[in-house]
Every structure is written in structure tokens, then in C-alpha cells.
Chains A and B, each alone.
Chain A
């Protein structure tokens, strides 16, 4: 039986601020370790097969580091999109939802993207000081949402319009 809420964080722990996603996932996993309602998955990057991880969920949260997020973090609702991010290296969560739709012929469950602002991504570097602060703020923001896994509530908490992220 799959958990209703999937948290999917992606990034590389040894690439500076790219670790933001997996680090936040670790915190969430510790918090919800005993819960059967929440499953936490991590990977280096999004890929086509991750569309199958969405199957059977009621709510999905993607977490990623982003250089484009103007503030510490940002939450937006995702829609399937042929956004041509077929540079697999950077496959977007919206594109993963599109693959889900094409493969299963069903609409995906409600999916959200939490981006946490990062600035430095060099191999072997630790989190930057700014990313450490952003991580804490993102953690404080997301934990109450995970406690109340309600899509309508999440929509009220979005900091960005739905669309490509």
C-alpha cells in the first residue's frame, strides 16, 4: 500500500547547495519516520521513471534547490506540461507529470513544488551560509503543511502562480 503523500526531493549531497532537497528530505523523513501516510524519496535528478512513483498518491510534493527563487523558498502548484525540458539532466517536475499522463492516460494527483534558493553548486563544497538559512526557513514553512496534507490548504499557502517551475 503506497503512502498517500509522497515527498520527492532531488539533488546531490556533494554539490554545495544542490543538497538542499535531500537535506530537507532527511528532516522530513526523521519527523514522519513512523507514519504510513508519508513516503519520502530522493534521487539525484528527475527522470521519466519517476512518473511511476506518483501513481496511487493523493498528494505529491517535489523539493529542489533553485537559483531562480528570489526569496528563501517558494511553493507552487504544478500542472503537466510539455515544457521541452528534455535535456534529461534538468527534467522538470511538470514534465514528469506530463510523462505520467501519457503513460497512465490519467491526470496526476495534485502536485506541488517547493524550491529552496541556492547560490553555489560546486563539487565537494558544503551548503553556503545563505542556503543554510533558507533551509531552516523552508523547514519551518513546510512542516505544518505536511501535518495537514490537505490540497485546498496547500493551495492557500502557494507563493507562486501555478505553471512551469
Chain B
């Protein structure tokens, strides 16, 4: 429906509006809108400039460094890279997932649940809740965590403490907040002590209760204005993710399942080591970011979404009771087999938070979690693939090593890349609906950002130095002349220069 907006005819006659970078999205992003003489959106593109250099960063390093090294690819979800790399290098030492010691498997899952809980909590309470609680076009002074803390203090504090709890799970399992060496090839490097287990158990029931409240909150908000929220930035797509063998929700290890927009199975329980047979990546000239697609459907029809909305859409069940109850309510939200509303990402995300909190409690009560049998070794291999469901979606790590254990080839498909096509579609949809014929204003820009933010794209690679994150909006005509420019400085001040 909106495909024609990506590449416009007569682009030399268009004005260019640049939103750079997108705020409250993790990292650097830029939205370019080409307007015609009547200020109608003719072309829309989301540029993400960070995804380059990953493979070069990894190649030439010994494989055992990878679980620590790859955490530095991304300051937002380091544990996800850590675990995907660990799964891949398990294979390099001849260990398949089913052969990992039970305690190591469960500690990794505990680590992963902690990571998803803290990542999703940050996103909802800090980034998304201001939009949902105060409205997309509310005053800019309200759309931040401070306003939430002021006007909804309970919700604001719960967000901070849920995030903190997830970080504490990570710290207990891996020994450090960041750069931890929890997972190693063939297992884990430290057991969880009884004191650490008991420390985490102290607050887990509170976390479950707050998570359940958050699910109810987002459900209430999204059902309060259904046509608007259901249609906002919504694009019907296929979905992809890992599931358990029984089709249940799975974050750490499973087979690849994909469903089309109508809910029909496109693939199920595919061994992720064979991902290259099913997924290809298209390169486009205007962006460093690739566009993955399902090979069987081709470039035009094969794009898909990953992440919370995909996972809750494609799974048949959730193995924790409160989250399963929430999933059933979620599925009733749409008369279609799949919930396509882009804002439903938030709802799905919080169902996953609830699942994580319930699962953390369950794992902490599992006797295996305190075992010190944590490592096995097998026969060396020269290739390994690790795939997990990161907070933002399916994450692929693929390595080849030589006889000296040096990485000779690395391929990563990060979650945000998989959502690339859909994010562009959402940008185009919102631009077409809300910006046509209007001057660029902050509330309108926020509509674009709300759409992008729903995907929780990880645009960063963890550089954050003070002074490097201005927000710039530029209006440039077809001849390259700067017509208008807004700069949003780090202190929030907006400066206009013409």
C-alpha cells in the first residue's frame, strides 16, 4: 500500500525533511521525508547508521574471547550478544544445546530472563509510557520519565525497580553488571550460591505483581481508543521467532517458526544452524542496514517482523500461568489470527516481562540452579551458530574458526535489522497519514518517533559520550539548499536556524 513512497518519481522536484537522530530510540537514527511542492509526503526512509564494522571487530580474535568481546557491540543488550556468542562457541567445542549441563542451561536462561526483564522494563516505563499515559501529541515537557514519576509516581518507581531487579539477576549470575564472563564455551563459569539465590527470591513476588499490573495498564490504554491505537503505524506482516518443540514461547533455544499475516505456518521447527537456507539479506544503496527476507517468499513478499509482537503472535502457549492468561486476552484483541497493531508491541512486551518474572521465580526454586556441574567439552568443530530471542527479536551469531581457534568469518543478523522493512513501512504509513500537507512540528515528529519507538530498535553500539547526541531536523530542497533546520541539543533546548 505504501511501497510507492520509498522511491518517488521526480525526486529532483521534492523538498527533503530530515529528522536526525530520532530521540528516545537507542542510538542514532534519521528519518528522511521527501515532500513535494504541496508538502505531501512522496518519499520516506528510516536511516540507521550504526550497523557496520561488527564482523571486522570480531574477525581475527580467538573464539573464547567472543562472549566478553561481543557484549561491547551494544550497550543496550550486551547479555543477548553474550549468550548468542556462547551458544555458537559451544558448538566450536563440540557441545550442542541439549548436551549442556542442566545447571548451565538453567543459569543461562536465568541470565536471559533477567536481561529481557530489564530491557523491556526500561523501554516501557522510561521510553514508551510517557506517550501512552500523556498522549502522543501532549506537551513535550510531559513526555519523559520525570513527568511519569511526578504524575504517576507508583508506575515510575516500579519501572526503576523492575529495571534494577533485572540488572541484579544479571549481576548475580554473571558476577558483574557488565563485561561479565558468565557463559563460556560448553557451560558457565560460576555457580549461583544459595545466598545469591535467596537474595533474588526476596523481591521476585513483588516483580511478578508489578509486571501483572503493567500488563493490565497497557491493555487498558490500548483498548481505550481502539481504532486510533489499532491503526497507528500498523502494517500487516509475516512474523518470525524461535518456539519450543510444542510451539510454546521460547527465548533461549528452540526451532525457527514463521507465520504469514493470516497466521498460516510458513516454516516450523527449522534448525537455526540452517538459517542461511531460509533467510537472505538484501542490500539497498541508501542505507548500511540490510533487509532480511524469507528466501521462499522472495524480496518483495518475504520481509517479516521479530520481537515481542512476533513471539506472542506465533507461539501457541506460554508455560507460566499469568503470562499465558495475558496471552489469551491479547489474542482476543483482534478478529484476525494475528495482532498486527504496531503499538501492540508494547502489550506483547509486557506479557514477556510478566513471563520473565514468573520464570525467574520458577528457576530460582529449581534445585539444579545451585549445582556446580557447569561445563562439558566435546570434539572441536570449525563452525558454530548461536541463535536466541533477544529482547528486540531473533539474534543470529555465526562464526567460522581456523585450526588455531581464530575467527576467520563472522556473520551477525541483529534483531533490529529484521524489523528494518517493517519500520520503514510504519514510518511511511505515519508520514502519509499525519504529515501530508503540514509543516514540520514537534508533535508531528513525535508521531513518527512513537511509531519507530514501538519496535524498540537498538540503533546504538554503546558510544554515548557527552555532547554527541544532538537532534537535528533539516529541510533541504532538491538542489541541496538548507531551507530550515531545527537542532535539539542535549539539554533539550531546540534551536532553529534558517
Contacts and interface: CB of A to CB of B under 8 A. Distances in A.
A47 interface: yes
Given A48-B163, A86-B144, A11 B149 contact: no
A103 B157 contact: yes
Contacts of A122: 53
Contacts of A51: 160
Interface stretch (B195-203, B432-440, B462-470): B462-470
Given A14-B57, A49-B163, A83-B490, A88 B466 contact: no
Nearest to B468: A67
A101 to B, nearest CB: 9
Contact of A124 (B53, B157, B167): B53
Nearest to A93: B466
Contacts of B460: 89
Nearest to B160: A48
Interface residues of A, number: 48
Given A14-B57, A88-B127, A92-B490, A44 B156 contact: no
Given A14-B57, A89-B460, A64 B465 contact: yes
B288 interface: no
A32 interface: no
Contact of A123 (B140, B149, B461, B464): B461
Contacts of B27: 89
A98 B465 contact: no
Contact of A115 (B72, B156, B466): B466
Given A86-B23, A124-B56, A48 B466 contact: no
B74 to A, nearest CB: 8
Majority secondary structure of chain A interface residues (helix, strand, loop or mixed)? loop
A124 B467 CA distance: 21
Contacts of B72: 12-15, 123
Report the interface size class on chain B: 35 or more
A10 B412 CA distance: 26
A122 B49 CA distance: 13
A84 to B, nearest CB: 3
B146 interface: yes
A10 B490 contact: no
B463 A15 contact: yes
B90 interface: no
A99 interface: yes
Contacts of B145: 48, 86, 99
B254 interface: no
Interface string A1-31: 0000000001111110110000000000000
A82 B146 contact: yes
A46 B467 CA distance: 14
Interface in A56-91: 64-69, 82-90
B160 A52 contact: yes
A45 B163 CA distance: 14
B340 to A, nearest CB: 27
B469 A87 contact: yes
A82 B73 contact: no
B462 A18 contact: yes
Contact of B78 (A44, A48, A64): A44
Nearest to B53: A123
B490 A44 contact: no
A36 interface: no
Contacts of B466: 64-69, 90, 92, 115, 165
A157 interface: no
Given A15-B461, A66-B467, A49 B167 contact: yes
A47 B156 CA distance: 14
Most buried by A among B57, B140, B462, B463: B463
Given A52-B160, A85-B492, A121-B465, A44 B56 contact: no
B492 A88 contact: no
Interface string A115-130: 1001001111000000
Given A14-B73, A48-B122, A123-B461, 19 more contacts: A12-B72, A14-B69, A18-B462, A42-B179, A43-B177, A65-B465, A84-B144, A86-B145, A88-B26, A88-B126, A89-B460, A90-B464, A99-B146, A102-B150, A103-B149, A103-B157, A123-B53, A123-B72, A124-B57
Interface of A: 10-15, 17-18, 41-49, 51-52, 64-69, 82-90, 92, 95, 98-99, 102-103, 115, 118, 121-124, 164-165
29 contacts: A11-B464, A12-B461, A12-B462, A41-B177, A44-B75, A44-B178, A44-B462, A45-B462, A48-B126, A64-B466, A66-B465, A68-B466, A82-B144, A83-B490, A83-B491, A85-B491, A86-B24, A86-B130, A86-B145, A87-B25, A88-B24, A89-B26, A89-B464, A90-B490, A99-B160, A102-B150, A121-B468, A123-B72, A123-B461
Q: Which 6 A-B pairs have the closest CB atoms?
A: A84-B492, A44-B75, A68-B467, A14-B72, A102-B149, A49-B164
